[in-house]
Structure formats: structure tokens, C-alpha cells
Structure 1
Amino acid sequence: MITPTTFPAFRALSARLGQDRLRVQGPGGNTSLKEGDVMWVKASGTELADAQTADIFVAVDRAAALAEAREQAGDGSCRATILDPTLSLRPSIETTFHAALDWPVVVHTHSVATLTHAISTEGLRIAQEKLAGLPCAFVPYAKPGLPLTRNILRCIGRRTQVIVLANHGLVICGPNIAATADLMEEVETRLAMQPKDTEWPMHAHPPPDGFSWAQESWIATDPVACARAIAGSYYPDHVVFLGPALPRADHAGKPPAFVVEGRGIALRLNATASQKAMLRCLSDVLSRLPIGWNAKAIGPDAEAELLNWDAEKYRQALAARS
């Protein structure tokens, strides 16, 4: 039940996660809190980091959102379920799975520790071993929104509280805020991996015009990391904010960053905060991914689905304003 102290505590947890780059990057991730017929969920394109300083949550009709999750009504966007129709905010594109998970508190992050395991077949197998004994489910990759909700509902049981999403992230469910936060810390501790040294001396060559050398430039000088960075995209938000993989050159003034192999990563001078956050996330993941694990990209078809999706164009537009 939501008490006078519950919502501030919920906002505090959301903000703490949003301000930790190893849990959430930019406008990624989302949280929800249920009470009776109402579910509060993060609005699309907003940042969890702002949870205590801005109105980033929208109240939706829980039953109506659940009907959309079960594909009994609506279009899966849950825009029609907002209780205050005067709001300009949209519910998170992942509102349906929040509604479908029958727990008062649901927290979804793009945890670096989880992503390091979840983009690799070997990593997912080892994650199962590390999380043994927890009420855990592993869900294959699907496009965010209804396709992901369908996959989650196929894989979970009534008691599932930990959900590892292949090539996407982590979902934690709990009966209250404290228990949810504690379970998340347990999962993060079990999955934690130490990063390799990513020190990169500033290259003697000047960056291309209109660009600076990114602090993540170590990737370009590490043969294994560089091959992985240009081979494909490993999770949705990379595609949404950086585009497919990392290109080897600028083209039509479009990519916010590209790899100059052996030298560095050229970052466009007007790159947005969200683009910088996703480049940092890629660095954080690749610096932890063991050489013996094969990194599995989501593939061109999945990338195209994300790039041509109205819901993600909306998030891109909001992020470009920041």
C-alpha cells in the first residue's frame, strides 16, 4: 500500500538508480509502483536520475494497462490508460510488462553487470550459475513493448522476482521498496565483474573536424574490443541513441561517434548527453566482457525495428532537447 512515505522512498530509489551509470544510462530504465487500481510508471523519454526533482511518473489505470499487456485491448502503448488525459507525457514503452508483473514494486535497469552476461551465450550460462537459488527467469531478446512482454509472460512463474533479459537488462520485483532494493543489490553483487584497464593516452593525431577524441577511445586501440564494437549492436538503447554498431567513418554527418581503428573514437562535438552516456555504457560493458565469451549482437532486423519505431523516435526527440 502507498503511504505518505512510500512514494518519496520510491522516487529516491529511482533517482539513486538513475544516477548510477552502472545501473541506468540517460533515459534508459524504468520503475513502477502499484496501489489498488493505480500504477505509477516512469514516463517515456524522462530520466530516472530526475525522479526527486521533476515529475517523471505518470499514473495509469492498472486494469486497463494489464488488458493491453494481455492484448485484450488497446495497442500496447498504454497511452489510453493514463488517468490524467491532460498530461503531455507518455507512459514508458515497457508499461505493459510492469502491469503484467503482479508485484507492488518493479524496477527495470540496464545494469552493466547484467548486460555483460546477457549479450553472450557463455555469459547467460554463467549468470544462471551465479544466480542459483534466487527466484529467477531468463528471457530471450525481443523488441521492447508488447513483444518483450509476451516473452516475459512465457518465461516467468508466479514467484519470479529476478528477470534477466537477453541483450537488454534486468528486472527486479518485490513486495515493497526496501525488499526490492535489497534483492537488486544481491543480484548486482553476484553478477559483478571487474573492468580491465581502460587508460588511453591522448593520441598525438588531432581528431577529425567537428569531433573530439572520446574518453572511451581505448576501445579503438584494443583489437578485441574494437572488433566487438564495430561488429554490431548488443542492446536496444545503443541502437536508439548511437545507431547500429559503431561505424568506421563519418557518413552524411549522421553518426554521433565513429571508430578510427588504432587511434580512438571520434565523438561529435554536439553529441547529446544520452549519446555520451551510451558510449560510456559500451565501454563499461566491453571492459568487463571476457575474451573467451562470444558477444552476440541483436542483428540488422532487430536494429531496423527499433530505428523505424515511432515510440523510439519520440524518445530520441526528447533526448535531443537535453
Structure 2
Amino acid sequence: MTIDTSILTDDFRALSARLGQDPLQVQGPGGNTSIKRGNTMWIKASGTELADAERQDIFVAVDRAAAVAEAREQAGDGSCKSTVLDPAISLRPSIETTFHAALDWPVVAHTHSVATLAHAISPDGRKVAIEKLDGLPFVMVPYAKPGLPLTREILAKATPQTQVFILQNHGLIGCGTDVREVSEIINEVESRLALPKTESLYKVPTMPAPAGLHWADESWMALDEAITTWLAGGSYYPDHVVFLGPGLPLADHDGTPPAILQPGVGILLRDDATSSQRAMLKCLSDLFLRLPDGWNVEAIGEAAEAELLNWDAEKYRQALAAQT
């Protein structure tokens, strides 16, 4: 079978790389982009990083019709592994291939935008986002587990005109007829949702950290009582759970938590923390530096955390991320 590689244009790779290299848009292996023509869709492979889009082969070609059938739960299991066009390839398509395939736009980009997350994890912020995005072809989508559950929610809200999806406790999707249109609509959303950043004056503790750990640059969060309560009390978007575990623990256990919260002191980070784990901790800091005073936040809950922790698709992504 001849696979149409001309669909993977330089401008599509450039957009993907630009999003992936901006920690305020994408962190580590999070986010995904796709481009389609006819029955072929190229999408980021699970566990790869958008930042590498111009220097590595991070995209997988899938049979779009087969992926749409999985999105509509007419075939397959929703993983879209069987829709990959090249049987020799070892990479899996993104766990979110189903919604990319089902959305009838040639280019789709999904990010974990910090500005979007600051609104999307907060009941107060969601109301404000609706006002800020007035006039755009936009819908708000309730939280659901990535994969088929999220695809169901997206398709229940989408109209043929919808180009912007704010995913509660998850992120942003921008759609368009071409790369330029997607880039422009994402920039417009970012501009409207932008929040001023508070400067942290935190200084790393002088007390030595336990062996194998160090005080993280993001330790300022441990000095804010409200943020400390939120961090210890739950998780606010899927990638936090996948890479840092549920919430931030207050004590070490079995040498496994990558980050440990010490209220009033700082946050301990393992010396061997992966780049993905470091990126997720920075994302938390970037988010809370922008969360307006008076906004409350809403965790995804223990049941949602358990679904992510026990999911084979996320264990696969964790295994790939552990190599970097």
C-alpha cells in the first residue's frame, strides 16, 4: 500500500513543533495534531512529543473511515490501533485519534494550554471563558476520560461550524480548513483567555533535601495555603495523574512519588525525575501563577484518577516517557 506522505506538509509540522515547544501550550508528550485528506489521516503517535515534529517521524497514518467507525462505536475498541495503514510501524496512534477522525475539519490541533486550563479547571473560570469567547464558533465540553468517552462528549456538542472546543479539566481543541486557519484561531483563543502572571519571590530552602531529592523551582506553591490544599486534595487534568500521580503526596512512600509536597516549606522533586514529570510540575506552577484571586478549582475526582492510572493506553505512554 502506498501511503500519501504529501499530506504531512512543512507548515503542518512547523505548527505542531511550535505548539510542542511552548510549555504554555503543550507539556512533554501531551497534546496532539492531525491533518487529513480523503481517507488518510496523519496524527501524532502516542508518547511522542510535538516539539520533535520537524526533526523526527512522530506521526502515524491511519485509515480515517475505520477510525470514524471506532469513534462512533461501530467497530474496534476505540484505540484505533487496527486503523494504522503501515502494519510494520511500531508506534500507536494517539489515544485521542477518534475525535480527530470524527471532526470533519482537515486540520485539528489539541493542546493543554495553560491559559485554557486556568479557566477550564475552575467553575468561575468557565463562566468567564464563555464571555471571553463570545462570537467564536465555540463550545464547552464536560470532562471525560480521554479516548472514546471524551469523543462521545465532543460529538454530542459539536456542530458543523464548531472550530473551538474548551475541554473542562483538560485543554483546547482548534479546528480549521488549513494550517493557517488553525494557527490563527488558536492564537485568538489564547489572546482572549490570557491571564496576567503573578511573580513568585520564593527562595529555595537552605535546609538540605533528602538523598535522591532536591527542592524544585516550583516550590513557591507550598507556601500558599489555598494552593497547598488544592495540590494535596486532587488532580485537575489527565496528564497530571499520568505523570505525577493523583494529587501531590505529603510524604514519600516506597521511593515512588516523583514530587512530594511539604506545606510551608517547598516541593521535593526526585533527581531522576523524567522530563515529562518535570514539565507537569512546571505546568502546575505556570497555571497557579495565573489563576485569579477568588477563583475556586475543581478536581477530576478519585474515580477519574483511578480510570487513568489503570488504563493500558496511559501505561504505554508512561513507559515511553520514562525513556526521556
Tell me if TM exceeds 0.5.
yes
Alignment of 1:1-322 (within 5 A): 7-322=9-324
Change (3 A) 1:72 1:155: same
Alpha-carbon distance in structure 2 between the residues aligned to 1:260 and 1:62: 48
Greater CA deviation, 200-209 or 33-42?
Answer: 200-209
Alpha-carbon distance in structure 1 between the residues aligned to 2:122 and 2:277: 23
Paired residue type of 1:201: K
Please say if residues 42 and 62 of structure 2, whose CA atoms lie closer than 8 Å, have aligned partners that are also in contact.
Answer: yes
Question: Alpha-carbon deviation of 1:3?
Answer: 9.5
Paired residue type of 1:32: S
Paired residue type of 1:73: A
After TM superposition, which residue ranges in structure 1, 4 or more long, deviate above 4 angstroms?
A: 2-6
Greater CA deviation, 290-299 or 136-145?
Answer: 290-299
Question: Alpha-carbon deviation of 1:5?
Answer: 8.7
Paired residue type of 1:141: Y
Please say if residues 240 and 280 of structure 2, whose CA atoms lie closer than 8 Å, have aligned partners that are also in contact.
Answer: yes
- What is the SS of the residue equivalent to 1:281? helix
- Percent same amino acid at aligned positions? 65
Question: Alpha-carbon deviation of 1:199?
Answer: 2.8
Paired residue type of 1:160: T
- What is the SS of the residue equivalent to 1:217? helix
Q: Deviations over 1:259-304 (max 9, x none)?
A: 1111110000100000000000011111111231111000000000
Alpha-carbon distance in structure 2 between the residues aligned to 1:139 and 1:93: 18
Alpha-carbon distance in structure 1 between the residues aligned to 2:312 and 2:7: 37
Question: Alpha-carbon deviation of 1:4?
Answer: 5.5
Alpha-carbon distance in structure 1 between the residues aligned to 2:134 and 2:93: 34
Please say if residues 34 and 109 of structure 2, whose CA atoms lie closer than 8 Å, have aligned partners that are also in contact.
Answer: yes
Paired residue type of 2:107: V
Alpha-carbon distance in structure 2 between the residues aligned to 1:98 and 1:120: 26
Please say if residues 224 and 291 of structure 1, whose CA atoms lie closer than 8 Å, have aligned partners that are also in contact.
Answer: no
Paired residue type of 2:155: L
Question: Alpha-carbon deviation of 1:146?
Answer: 0.1
Paired residue type of 1:114: T
Question: Alpha-carbon deviation of 1:239?
Answer: 0.1
Greater CA deviation, 224-233 or 260-269?
Answer: 224-233
Q: Deviations over 1:32-70 (max 9, x none)?
A: 000111000000000000000000000000100000000
Alpha-carbon distance in structure 2 between the residues aligned to 1:311 and 1:288: 31
Change (3 A) 1:85 1:108: same
Paired residue type of 1:259: L
Alpha-carbon distance in structure 1 between the residues aligned to 2:7 and 2:87: 27
Q: Which runs of 5+ in 2 are unaligned?
A: none
User: Alpha carbon RMSD of aligned pairs, Å?
Assistant: 1.2
- What is the SS of the residue equivalent to 1:205? coil
Paired residue type of 1:235: Y
- What is the SS of the residue equivalent to 2:135? coil
Greater CA deviation, 298-307 or 192-201?
Answer: 192-201
Alpha-carbon distance in structure 2 between the residues aligned to 1:101 and 1:157: 9
Q: Deviations over 1:165-201 (max 9, x none)?
A: 0000000000000011001000000000012112321
TM-score by length of 1: 0.98
- What is the SS of the residue equivalent to 2:217? coil
- What is the SS of the residue equivalent to 1:171? strand
Question: Alpha-carbon deviation of 1:98?
Answer: 0.1
Please say if residues 167 and 234 of structure 1, whose CA atoms lie closer than 8 Å, have aligned partners that are also in contact.
Answer: yes
Alpha-carbon distance in structure 2 between the residues aligned to 1:28 and 1:173: 18
What is the aligned residue count?
321
- What is the SS of the residue equivalent to 1:216? helix
Alpha-carbon distance in structure 1 between the residues aligned to 2:70 and 2:287: 34
TM-score by length of 2: 0.97
Change (3 A) 1:5 1:157: closer
Alpha-carbon distance in structure 2 between the residues aligned to 1:121 and 1:249: 30
